[in-house]
Amino acid sequence: MFSRDRWQEIFETIRKNKLRTILSGFTVALGIFIFIVLFGFGNGLKNSFEEFFLDDATNTLWLYPGVTSKAYRGFKDNRRIEFDNSDLIDIQENFAFFLERITPRINRREVLGYKNKSNSYYTRAVTPAHQYIEKTVIMKGRFINQKDLEEKNKNIVIGRLVEQDLFKNENPIGKYVEIKESAFKVVGVFQDKSGDREERLVYLPYTTRQLLEKTNDKIDQIIVSFKPELGYVGALAFERQLRDFFKNKKVIDPSDKSGLYIRNTAEMVKQNQQFAATLQIIVAIVGFGTLIAGIIGISNIMVFVVKERTKELGVRKALGATPISVVGMILHESIFITTISGIFGLLIGVFVLSRLGDQLEQYFILNPYVDTLTAFIATFSLIFFGAVAGYIPAKRAASIKPIVALRDE
């Protein structure tokens, strides 16, 4: 069936019918190419999305104090709520069942000076737990530790870009930086994929910060992480109980929405995952649609090719071609062309995707790629359906009486 003679016959036909070959080859190559590129872009979108939203820890609750909007139990409205150290202790004591880690945050803007350079940066006063909650990656040295916290050390951890700004090529670890006329030792440098803003931050122990500010015990925010095994429902329960606890402790009307804010990432994560799933479905639909369009394209061409060859097939049959040999010839030829051009389109598509790399990051397409399995399934389904689409008209052409085929003009 696939003898050398048959191959020669097919090569000859392909060589001498260039337009037909190019037409069907181009359709398949283009179909696969577009599929690969679109699908790759879709994956790129998904990548940026995950980069943006699924970067931080996903089991956290963020507590922000607000301003009351209702008078309650003898307090007037418009009262500013504040957190302090006792709140941290209360959470640790009352919510041990839910709690994994806890950190306060005290945010200040400070000028950091080193040698003759100085610059203003946001500082965050935190506990060691903060590293896990933000998924901060340490490049050099270490993060704030428990000892820093207890001894209220003047140690800081700086972002990659702070290092770049102030230290250029110097190793900052162990160097002293001036903040408000006192010297702080750099103990670590971190990086963060979330963006430039994150890498221009400076971390210090919150106890040190409170000491600097004349031993007050105020806290700007509290971030807690809950045990992941609690799941979504557990997270909601934790949130509800925290809210009740603090509304009671800070004497806020239970119906007052603005006295205390709690952001629950579990809820966001759920939404984000739904969004990611939607994105995935859109990518799949786009890919599937392209593939269908390609299949319809190659089917039309096959119908056209067989129609165009009707008379030739009649001549071949008059000369003794059996129906099987006619069908075999058409299929062999079409599968050969679609395979070659399909693989060609596949390679070009993969090449283009890999060349694009991160160039489209501004359009939220990050690392576009197509996994090998998807690429091959797509290519082979196009080849397969091209063959099926060719088989039907070929079969019909092979079964009409030679005299009818010969009459075709």
Partner 1 sequence: MIQINNLHKSYKIGSNSLHVLKGIDLKIDEGELVAIMGSSGSGKSTLLNILGMLDIADDGKYLLDNVLIQDLTETTAANYRNRFLGFVFQSFNLINYKNALENVALPLYYQGLGRKIRQQKALEYLEKVGLKDWATHLPSELSGGQKQRVAIARAMASQPKVLLADEPTGALDSNTSNEVMGLIQKINEEGKTILVVTHEIEIAHMCKRIVTLKDGVIVEDKKTNQTLIDTNV
134, 254 in Cβ contact below 8 A?
no
Name the one range near partner 1 by CB under 8 A: 208-216, 252-260, 296-304, 316-324: 316-324
Distance (Å, rounded) from C-alpha 160 to C-alpha 144? 16
Residue 23 tokens read as 């037409």
Give the residue among 58, 44, 17 at the shortest CA–CA distance from 225.
58
- Among residues 173, 251, 286, 315, the one that binds partner 1 under rule CB under 8 A: 315
CA pair distance 186, 266, nearest whole angstrom: 34
207 neighbors 150 (Cβ within 8 angstroms): yes
Give kind and range of the element (H or E) at residue 262.
strand 260-264
- Contact residue for partner 1 among 130, 250, 317, 332 (CB under 8 A): 317
Nearer to partner 1, 176 or 391 (CB): 391
Taking CB under 8 A as the rule, does residue 96 contact partner 1? no
Calpha distance 399→393 (Å, rounded): 10
Residue 90 CB-density burial (10 A; 0-12 exposed, 13-18 middle, 19+ buried): middle
Shorter beta-carbon distance to partner 1: residue 2 or 76 = 2
What is the chain's Cα-based Rg?
A: 34
The residue from 66, 113, 234, 323 that contacts partner 1 (CB under 8 A) is: 323
Distance CA 329, CA 259 (A): 79
Give, as ranges, the residues between 210 and 229 that touch partner 1 (CB under 8 A): none
**Residue 161 or 398: which CB sits closer to partner 1?**
398
Residues 19-48 that bind partner 1 (CB under 8 A): none
Nearer to partner 1, 57 or 315 (CB): 315
Partners of 105 in the β-ladder: 221
Rounded to the nearest whole angstrom, what is the least distance from the CB of residue 23 to partner 1 in the complex? 15
Burial 21-47 (b: 16+ CB within 10 A, else e): bebbbbbbbbbbbbbbbbbbbbbbbbb
Near partner 1 by CB under 8 A: residue from 13, 48, 85, 94: 13
Q: Which is nearer to partner 1, 85 or 325 (CB)?
A: 325
Report 373-402 residues binding partner 1 (CB under 8 A).
Answer: 398-399, 401-402
Residue of 320, 355, 362, 373 that binds partner 1 (CB under 8 A): 320
Two structure tokens written together for 189? 């440098």
Nearer to partner 1, 107 or 399 (CB): 399
Of 145, 241, 280, 325, the one binding partner 1 (CB under 8 A) is 325
CB distance 269 to 91 below 8 Å: no
| 265-308 helix and 18-53 helix, angle to the nearest 10 degrees | 180
Q: Residues in contact with partner 1, total (CB under 8 A)?
A: 27
Given candidates 2, 5, 74, 76, which one binds partner 1 under the rule CB under 8 A? 5
CB of residue 377 vs partner 1: minimum separation in angstroms? 36
Nearest approach, Cβ of residue 334 and partner 1 (Å):
17
Nearer to partner 1, 337 or 353 (CB): 337
Q: Find the binder of partner 1 among 2, 16, 96, 373 (CB under 8 A).
A: 16
The least CB distance from residue 392 to partner 1, in Å, is 17
Q: Distance of CA 18 to CAs 9, 12, 64, 189, 303, Å?
A: 14, 10, 71, 63, 17
**Structure letter (DSSP) for residue 79:** P
Distance in angstroms between the alpha carbons of the first and the last residue of the chain = 30
Contact with partner 1 (CB under 8 A) among 108, 175, 185, 311: 311
The verdict on 281 binding partner 1 (CB under 8 A) reads no
* Amino acid residing at 401: K
Contacting positions for partner 1 (CB under 8 A): 5, 8-9, 12-13, 16-17, 311-312, 314-325, 398-399, 401-403, 406
